[in-house]
Amino acid sequence: MKTLEQAHQEFNYEQLIQEQLVGQPNAVNAYIECCQRYVGQQKTALIWEGKNGESEQWSFEQLDVASAQLANYFKSIGIQVGDCIAGLLPRTPELLITILATWRIGAIYQPLFTAFESKAIEHRVLTANTKLIVTNAEQRPKLNHVEVKHILTVNAGTNLASNEAEFWQEVKQQSDQCEAVLRSFDDDFLMMFTSGTTGLAKSVPVPLKAVLAFKGYMQHAVDLREDDSFWNLADPGWAYGLYYGITGPLSLGHSIIMDERAFSVDHAVEVIKKYRVSNLTGSPTAFRMFFGFKEKFDPSIKTHLRAVSSAGEPLTPEVIHWFNNDLNVNIYDQYGQTELGMVIANHHALEHEKKVGSAGFANPGHRFAVLDANHQEVKCGEIGT
């Protein structure tokens, strides 16, 4: 196994662009990086478990067709390059199609967490000057008093508002050919928001060059391998789920798992066993719930679960001990922010000292320092601000 020190020494930004991306700094598109480049390889992109017991698998080829049709609809209603399109959708195929179609035309995707109430949605939509919200019938009532130019609703029914259309009815009418719009590294492709712990949530635009960093985290910290069955438990309405449950793995040509059902330990165990998940990521909250119902994790899971990554607050010692000793798998703490992505980690794919309760070390390509009030780096042992 390569050491973390070696990975830092070998890091070459220009070389990574050539090796990891189809595009170039002045001509790149997230849809191409996350879907089109893998069309023709007959690979599964999405594994979906529906809330009513449905199970579906979507190939990159199927997502390519559906996203082209939706992208053409976006263009037909006047959506322009750089416009913001929001998704207020559960973990369904329509969510992924919306994301890819948005990127395809050079627009910016904005996630809206489905647990938000109308006021939280309205603030984010107005701040981002969002032109279109894609939603479903269940979430649609939250938009009754939100000002937005267009609404596209899955299973809309017949009582449509004047600015509303039905998702699949419109998609199926469109051509399945749509050329991707090339943009530059500094152009935004995601419009995130902080969690709003200190006042109103603040916008966090994410540029296309972040795709390269997302890939690096998946490779070095998560150790996502081609033969892994990968599942990120996090909701794509937030950064970790969107960055590393959708964008990161798809950019590597890897399938993702989406479970539309509300999170429960029973559902999680069912999915882990059904798809023989070998690489699992999520939050400490989820893993503490696992520990609370540890009797549900039978020995068969040990035969395929290989690596577990945790993002958020620190893991508790008892959870770490349970994963290590009862499930025979390493679970590592990792750290990031909406504004940064995941930047510090205990790396599954790199050899380095790993301390229980520690966030780890800087990912290759990153360096961290403590600064004083004048933004100058302090010396070892000194206190910064």
The predicted-structure confidence for 260-290, as pLDDT tens digits, reads as follows: 999 999 999 999 999 999 999 999 999 999 9
**Mean pLDDT, residues 358-382:** 94
**Nearest by Cα to 363 from 260, 247, 210:** 210
Q: What is the pLDDT of residue 199?
A: 82
Q: pLDDT per residue over 8-65, tens digit each?
A: 999 999 999 999 999 999 999 999 999 999 999 999 999 999 999 999 999 999 999 9
Structural domains of the chain in order of their starting residue, each with its CATH number: 26-207 (3.40.50.12780), 210-362 (3.40.50.12780)
**Nearest by Cα to 79 from 124, 125, 131, 127:** 131
How would you class 203 by CB atoms within 10 Å of its CB: exposed for 0-12, middle for 13-18, buried for 19 or more?
middle
- Quick one: what percent of the chain has pLDDT higher than 70? 99
DSSP string over 175-189 = -S--PPPPB-TTSEE
**Mean pLDDT, residues 249-267:** 98
Q: What is the pLDDT of residue 356?
A: 84
pLDDT at 207 > cutoff 70: yes
**Residue 360, by phi and psi: left (phi above 0), alpha (psi -120 to 50) or beta?**
left
Q: What is the pLDDT of residue 313?
A: 87
Q: Which is higher by pLDDT, 196 or 243?
A: 243
pLDDT at 359 > cutoff 80: yes
**Nearest by Cα to 305 from 339, 344, 278, 340:** 278
**Mean pLDDT, residues 220-231:** 99
Q: What is the pLDDT of residue 196?
A: 64
Q: Across the beta sheet with 55-59, what order do the strands follow?
A: 55-59, 44-49, 256-259
The structure's pTM equals: 0.97
**Distance of alpha carbon 309 from alpha carbon 233, whole angstroms:** 11
- Average per-residue pLDDT in the chain? 97
Q: pLDDT per residue over 84-101, tens digit each?
A: 999 999 999 999 999 999
pLDDT interval class at 138 (50, 70, 90):
very high
Q: What is the pLDDT of residue 158?
A: 86
Please answer whether residues 24 and 186 qualify as being in contact, where contact means their C-beta atoms are separated by less than 8 angstroms: no
